[in-house]
A and B are shown apart, each in its own frame.
Chain A
Amino acid sequence: MDIFIGLVRNILEEGFIFGIMAMGVFITYSVLDFPDLSVDGTFPLGACTTAALISIGVNPYLSCLMAFIAGSAAGMVTGFLHVKLKITNLLSGILTMTAMWSVNLFITKGSSILAYYNKPTIFTSGLAAIFPRDIYVYRIAVVGLIAVVVSKIVLDLYLKTKSGLLLRSAGDNQQFVISISRDPGKMKMVGLAIGNGFTALSGSIYSQQYESADINSGTGMVVMALASVIIGKSVFGKIRIMKPTTMAVVGAILYRACLVAALQMGLNPDYLKLLMAVLFTLALVSTNFFSKRRNKPYVNTPEL
């Protein structure tokens, strides 16, 4: 039983943390219709920025914010490459992802793993510090939950603002954005900045959980985030009151659950990335199978 609770705790911890990234990717992939591969580079960017800042004594919450800003800046680079230099969306993402490798190494001063053990993190200072001793092991899940809920509320509120509506229309119909006298390219850059900001925030929190940043931690993040978004949508898409941001987070939790279950059943960890790809393929195939509609509506309406 203890083992089971431990597993659930682990699934929730990772699910919440990666859920933040899934929401970011929801913005680029579902709202903007932009398959953004820079995520593989901006996740470790968030981790490395945080590690560099916390190890020189910066407040961990401020470090989270700085990671978000760094991720947004990287997202703007992808947007710039695509919108201003007219490079295709996939290639723009790949270029940023590749460049981020060197940027991350620069931030960590050349080491591939930057550890900052026993420095204050969001899991050891602030709210976590006053956590009762007997449930101390749950602090990561609780702090992760708070982080994901706050991110979700901020994102949901943003999507209802004028700028948020414009972002959604930019992904939906560029000509419409032009017709209301706005530059759709600019909105794409805004969306990429938001998406990669949340991805970097996710990387920042992930790194604080392990008190170290690994520049390799970004591998497979695109696949994981996209799979979370698509699983969430295909499982809960029919529930009208559920917001797509919630679907992305729950999708991330389900996805972690699948991975943990497979490992518990004795899967060799070497095959983990293979399993991730297979899960993603299944999620994609199942959505194609179940929904005949090719466009991806933001809010689902029943068939009329």
Chain B
Amino acid sequence: MSTLRNCKEISELVSMEHIYKTFNKGSVNQVVLFTDFNLSIDKGEFVSVVGSNGSGKTTMLNILSGFTDIDSGRITLDQRDIGKMKEYQRAKYIGRVFQDPSTGTCPALTILENMALADNKNKPFGLTRGVNKKRIDEYRTQLERLKLGLEDKINLQVGSLSGGQRQALALLISTMTPIDLLILDEHTAALDPRSSETVMELTQQLVSKKNLTTLMVTHNLKYAVQYGERLIMMHKGDCVVDVKGEEKKHLEVNDLLKVFNEISIECGN
């Protein structure tokens, strides 16, 4: 039993311990979101997170990525204490795709320039040529895998692409360099059904190919059931459902919907 626990500790990648977070402390709008929140994610795990608005899903992601400060608690990533790091410092280990397709890419720069910048992550940004010509073929190959025809448009400004194309590119860009954790923040919510299917398939491909530990927040219960080996349902800053393995495989949308409704009724919605 003890060896099993040791194994677990080694395989643990993300750990959030005793997280406390209150918004607008001391004012009439005070909202206590997290009281002693704990979450641990294993290496290579693909976790889907669902929950109603205000349940704390996005705040949890923001706390992990460093966008939101915590009142107290401990956050570690691969045994490193990242709680005190700034958002851009944590980005060294964390890739993130946002709900808004315009957040993950630079609209005024071309596809090529966006990829060249992302490719240079964690390396110095000095006075050498911004776009390494030798890497262009490699970028093209990566774009071809998206099957969106972007490989022929590498000199086009990203701002002129559609939301789905931009999101696919953002996904590609955020995983170009090795990362420990991929955070997907409702990354298909702003897309039309077909584009979101494409982006989800691409997500699955990239995640399994690079064996990425992934934390995906979604409002789409179908995706939450379909993708990932673990599912968490959050409510009022707590994990009310946490299933993995066989149990997760047999989970269906209707089961999830039932729990979802029960919670909502409890709240009186």
Contact = CB atoms under 8 A, between A and B. Distances in A.
Nearest to A161: B127
B124 to A, nearest CB: 8
Contact of A176 (B104, B120, B124): B104
Contacts of B124: 162
A299 interface: yes
Contacts of A176: 103-106, 114, 117
A281 interface: no
Contacts of B104: 175-176, 179
B16 interface: no
A169 interface: yes
B86 to A, nearest CB: 8
A181 B92 contact: yes
A301 B157 contact: yes
Contact of B129 (A161, A295, A297): A161
A172 B127 contact: no
A180 interface: yes
Contact of B88 (A164, A177, A304): A177
Contact of B91 (A181, A295, A304): A181
Contacts of A179: 91, 95-96, 104, 174
B105 A180 contact: no
B91 A178 contact: yes
Interface string A84-120: 0000000000000000000000000000000000000
B259 interface: no
Given A175-B98, A184-B88, A162 B120 contact: yes
A181 B122 contact: yes
B108 A168 contact: yes
Contacts of B84: none
Interface in A163-208: 163-166, 168-169, 172-173, 175-184
B107 A181 contact: no
A136 interface: no
Contacts of B126: 161-163
B103 A175 contact: yes
A158 B127 CA distance: 7
Interface in B89-115: 89, 91-92, 95-96, 98, 102-110, 113-114
B106 A182 contact: no
Contacts of A162: 117, 120, 124-130
Nearest to A157: B127
A241 to B, nearest CB: 13
Nearest to A184: B88
Contacts of A158: 127
Interface string A280-304: 0000000000000001111101001
B116 interface: yes
B174 A181 contact: no
Given A175-B98, A181-B89, A161 B117 contact: no
A238 interface: no
Contact of B108 (A161, A177, A178, A297): A297
B109 A169 contact: yes
A273 interface: no
Given A160-B129, A162-B128, A173-B102, A182 B88 contact: yes
Nearest to A183: B88
Given A173-B106, A177-B88, A299 B157 contact: yes
Interface centre among A158, A162, A177, A182 (most CB of B within 10 A): A162
B157 A163 contact: no
A20 B113 CA distance: 26
Nearest to A158: B127
Contacts of A164: 130
A166 B131 CA distance: 11
A165 B127 CA distance: 10
A172 B107 CA distance: 7
Interface in B152-197: 156-157, 159-160, 174
A304 B91 CA distance: 34
B82 interface: no
Contacts of B118: 180
B145 interface: no
Interface of A: 158, 160-166, 168-169, 172-173, 175-184, 295-299, 301, 304
The 3 closest A-B pairs by CB, nearest first: A165-B130, A181-B91, A162-B125
Given A181-B121, A304-B160, 19 more contacts: A158-B127, A162-B117, A163-B126, A166-B125, A168-B106, A169-B106, A169-B109, A172-B106, A173-B102, A173-B107, A175-B103, A175-B104, A176-B114, A179-B91, A179-B104, A180-B120, A181-B92, A295-B108, A295-B159
10 contacts: A161-B128, A162-B126, A163-B125, A163-B126, A165-B131, A168-B108, A175-B104, A176-B106, A179-B96, A299-B110
